[in-house]
Structure 1
Amino acid sequence: MRTVYVNGEYVAENDAKISVFDRGFLMADGVYEVTSVIDGKILDFEGHVLRLERSLAELGMPMPMPADDLLAIHRELVSLNAVDEGAVYLQITRGAPADRDFAFPPEGTPQTVVLFTQSKPGLAGDAAASKGIKVISIPDIRWGRRDIKTVQLLYPSMGKMMAKAAGVDDAWMVEDGMVTEGTSNNAYIVRGNTIITRHLGNEILSGITRAAVLRFAREAQMTVEERSFSIEEAQTADEAFITSATTFVMPVTEIDGVQIGSGSPGPLALRLREIYVDESRKAAV
């Protein structure tokens, strides 16, 4: 049985409880982060903390504790649960006022802070990367502040189920004719030696893995172009892939039933995955 962290205490998962009045439960009034674990160490922690601070600030919430304390909790959970490869999930909400109300709770209401681990053996060597994944396109009907990593995940969850019903692995969301992002990842296409991915803005999440992968790509003398692209352009690309904290770099071999490139994972995506895993291992904390 896992040990989880709830509001200052390490407890067995079956004993973990929050109030029914918690704003995260009633209003999706909270943010989250997921950090990967390889070799028992945390990947990209600094980047995740910086994004967490920004998400909280955009919603008018403070950091509940210093970053060093959060890191200590991450490490303790990884140790207590003997996680070699996997992830740590962190969620912070505006807390639990005395009753349900659309208005924010009184100043000084304690925030809710929850963390738990997920063990995922084989994360770094995921066999899916050797064959790639298939995606479909769906309309993007989410709210306008997708740059904030909130717990409002109903539509992305529905998108995952649409993909499952279509017999594929995931979905790319489309707004005004252009791809925004995947249900839980950033989307890319490749033409020659050029990597193309949507520019940052309120329409997409600023992926921590995205930032690292683009940095590694530039260091490897690959060209990066941050702009919008359509499903039609993606279908004629040489390669396509996604990035996220738990998939790293994952090749995409089919979009809406159209084979991408050779129909196999492309060399650039596979090379980027190799670089990302190697460099992340070195920098893990």
Structure 2
Amino acid sequence: MTLCYHEGQFRPLEEIFVPLSDLAIQRGIGVFESIRTYDRRTFALGPHLERLARSAEQAGIEARNLIPQVRDILREGLARPDCPQGEVLMKPYLTGGDVREEGRFPHPRLFVLFEPLHAPDPNLHREGVTLQPAAMERPFPLIKSINYLFGYIPVAGMEGVFETLYCPGGEITESSSSNFFLCVEGKLVTAPVGRVLSGVTRGIVLHLAREGGFKVEERCPKVTELEKADEAFVTGSLKEILGVVRIGGHRIGKGTPGPVTQHLHRLFRTSLQHWLD
């Protein structure tokens, strides 16, 4: 069962409704976060809530009074007997509400979902995934928007593809729900924040890589670098670090998750205690 918080109450998801008048439905206006648990403890809660606040502000959603409530809502929800058992994925949503005034949304609605966490199939970590390149850039990359249509369209009807990889103007930015890293010529290359969403796991991986002595470049990898790349991987809260073995028609490296990907994933897993609340 999925538990949902709205307007001071925790109720089963099927009892909660978003009015058709809400601009989340009318115009796709809304922002959210995906916050997971490890051993029922929230992962990187501070960075997630900071990003939620930034997303809301840049989207024009006036949520300064709502966001401070989220930490306590998450804590209370996790402690409830009707919260899903085991590990949980918690998703706070801020919708546009019913009113738009001078380009801003002064009366948003807050919903928080508590869902059973479904991590990627372990085979994906062993075998790696395929991304489909698309010559487009995710609009408003600094906003974690509820609107994922632009990422779904390029891979509609395609089997065996994990996500869209945005490749505007011959550069690689990010994939539809992940940050992207390329291992090429002894360097770890990933697009800078501003061109891409400031991924929470991305930030941790960059910290671990630099601490571990890897040479890191924050720039957009070039599509032309794929042919000489040794490895690639994507990062995200649910997927952690997931090897990419094919991008469109390009096999990456040996076609299996490589040693850098595996090493960084081990470092990530062993450092988890530092990021739990």
Q: State the TM-score, normalizing by the size of structure 1.
A: 0.87
Q: Deviations over 1:177-227 (max 9, x none)?
A: 1111101111111125421011221x3211111111101111111111111
Query: C-alpha displacement at 1:105, in angstroms?
Result: 7.4
- Report deviation, 1:115: 1.1
Q: How big is the shift at 1:82?
A: 3.3
The match for 1:174 among 167, 170, 173 is: 167
Change (3 A) 1:266 1:119: same
Alignment check: 8 A CA contact 2:97 2:105 kept: no
The partner residue of 2:178 within 180, 185, 189 is 185
TM-score by length of structure 2 reads 0.90
> Which residue in 2 is equivalent to 1:95?
97
Provide Cα deviations, 1:46-100, integer angstroms capped at 9, x if missing partner: 1111111111222332323353x31221233334323433421111023224xxx
Quickly say closer, same or farther: Cα 1:192–1:174, change in 2 above 3 A: closer
Counterpart of 2:163, as a letter, is D
Percent identity, aligned pairs only, is 24
Corresponding residue for 1:165?
Answer: 158
Q: Is residue 118 of structure 1 aligned with residue 115 of structure 2? A: yes
Q: Which moved more, 1:238-247 or 1:255-264?
A: 255-264
1:254-275 C-alpha deviation (Å, 9 max, x unpaired): 1113221111111111111122
Which blocks of at least 5 consecutive residues in structure 2 are unaligned? none
Matches of 1:115 and 1:235 in 2, distance apart?
Answer: 43
Partner of 2:267: helix, strand, or coil? Answer: helix
Cα contact 2:42–2:276 (8 A) shared by 1:
yes
Letter in 2 for 1:41: R
Cα separation, 1, equivalents of 2:9 and 2:31:
20
**How far off is 1:25 after superposition?**
1.5
Return the offset for 1:158: 2.0
Q: Distance in 1 between matches of 2:161 and 2:236?
A: 18
Query: How big is the alpha-carbon RMSD for the aligned residues of Structure 1 and Structure 2?
Result: 2.2
Q: Which amino acid aligns with 1:127?
A: N
CA separation in 1, counterparts of 2:121 and 2:41? Answer: 16
| 2:87 aligns with one of 67, 85, 100 | 85
- TM-aligned CA deviation for residue 139 of structure 1: 2.0
The answer for the alignment partner of 2:246 in structure 1 is 254
Counterpart amino acid of 2:126? S
Code of the aligned partner of 2:87? E
